[in-house]
Amino acid sequence: MHHFHQLKATKVSKETNDCIHIGFEIPDHLKHEFSFKQGQYINVRFVFGEEDLRRSYSIINAPSEDNPELEILVKHLDQGKVSTYLNQELKEGDLVEIMAPSGHFYTHYHVSNEKTYIGLAAGSGISPVLSNIKEALYQEPKSSAYLFFSNRSFVDIIFKKEIDELVEKFDGRLKVIFLVSREKHFEDELFEGRISAEKLDLLFQRFTDIPVQESTYFICGPSEMIKGISDYLKKEKKVPSLQIMYEYYAAPDEEGNAEMSEEFKAIPNLESMVTLIIDDDEYSFHLNSKKNSILDQALAEKLPVPFACKGGVCCTCKAQVMEGEVFMDKNFALTEDEVARGFVLTCQCHPTTNVVMLNYDV
């Protein structure tokens, strides 16, 4: 169920100076497996020599668009081997290993809804936010949306042309405010700077028609932005948590090293027999609770475990605890409901009982 497929890149175009826009062709026999929901992502894999590198990229498209394709945006990171390859080497016609879409950065839409959706995005965080906003506007003719989108400068605004076309297409139902953090805004200095709790407070004072407490929020950007804004919405504006959705694209730095956390230090030091169920096969190995994560040990044992970020963000390594108990350090991906049902991120897990069984097939 977590297999990579080779898909052909059919569109490779520069979006901005440091972002590439890539589209993939989905062959007929994979159409069902690659159907997606708004806000989901795909994992890509590249093997460079001995290194097996995996990255997650959000899908830009909305399922209800005419002829929805599978497209992603990849921002070039200076030290990023995969993003450098995709930005500088990938050509149309090349094959890329891709896993079927996953993730749950979305809400459910209904034609009778009359809601307000608010997208808060910074830089390449626009992809899953835009996908959700588009889907809401397509599926709910009586709903409207605001998009607050910050970039370094006007030339760096990602998807500017598409966003302008959407504003026209949805005729008054989509309002977009571009913010720039490293140059003057020609309209209003309120639109200068990054999106923060303080900035959002000022924006709400300006856009008084936004029903702040009743709106549904989609947030994607740097971790401090997500944390600051979601705390502000929950605590200051009393927005119910279920109306605030956010997607991290990297683990928050301040969370630090999992192996150094006080909670990790407090777990018992024991030897465990860990059994993993992967694609109906069972694999077992011994693991000390204070050593590797379960995922790292499984990789060391060369087991076919699914993974991507290894940072508790992407959810690719999700499994369900069938027997025993584990300690999970970071979790930026699983919902409260999933945790209550025994799902864990194996890249963040250490056994805390002598016998542990996890199932990746659920």
Burial environment of residue 192 by CB neighbours within 10 A (0 to 12, 13 to 18, 19 or more): middle
103 binds ligand FES (CB under 6 A): no
- Cα distance between residue 231 and residue 224, in whole Å: 11
Q: How far is the CB of 61 from ligand FES (least distance, A)?
A: 22
Rule CB under 6 A: say whether 312 interacts with ligand FES: yes
Q: Provide the minimum distance between the beta carbon of 245 and ligand FES in the complex, in angstroms, as a whole number.
A: 17
User: Does 258 sit near ligand FES (CB under 6 A)?
Assistant: no
Distances (CA, A) of 304 to 67, 134, 235, 280: 34, 36, 43, 12
Residues sharing a CB contact under 8 Å with residue 83, sequence separation 6 or more, in sequence order: 55, 74, 75, 76, 77
Any idea what DSSP says for residue 162?
Answer: H
CB 303 to ligand FES: min, Å: 14
Between 69 and 296, whose beta carbon lies closer to ligand FES?
Answer: 296
Which residues inside 291-310 make contact with ligand FES, applying CB under 6 A?
Answer: 307-310
Residue list 179-218, contact with ligand FES (CB under 6 A): none
Q: Are 69 and 23 in contact (CB under 8 A)?
A: yes
Chain residue whose CB lies nearest ligand FES:
347
Judged by CB under 6 A, which of 278, 319, 347, 358 binds ligand FES? 347
From the CB of 302, what's the least distance to ligand FES, in Å?
17
315 near ligand FES, judged by CB under 6 A: yes
- Minimum CB–partner distance for residue 331 and ligand FES (Å): 8
326 lines the binding site for ligand FES (CB under 6 A) = no
For residue 118, state whether it binds ligand FES (rule: CB under 6 A). Answer: no
Does residue 314 interact with ligand FES by CB under 6 A?
A: yes
Is the CB of 229 or the CB of 347 nearer to ligand FES? 347
Q: Which of 66, 67, 84 is nearest to 75 (CA)?
A: 84
- d(Cα 23, Cα 71) in Å, to the nearest integer? 4
Shortest Cβ 249–ligand FES spacing (Å): 11
Give the whole-angstrom CA distance, residue 351 versus residue 279: 22
317 scored as a contact of ligand FES (CB under 6 A): yes
Q: How far is CA 24 from CA 21, 71, 76, 125, 311, in A?
A: 10, 6, 19, 20, 26
Minimum CB distance to ligand FES smaller for 41 or for 149: 41
CB 96 within 8 A of CB 90: yes
Judged by CB under 6 A, the residue of 44, 333, 344, 358 near ligand FES is 333
Structure tokens of 280? Answer: 């109906």
Count of H helices and E strands in the chain?
Answer: 8, 18
User: Residue 149 or 343: which CB sits closer to ligand FES?
Assistant: 343
Residues binding ligand FES (CB under 6 A): 307-310, 312-317, 333, 345, 347
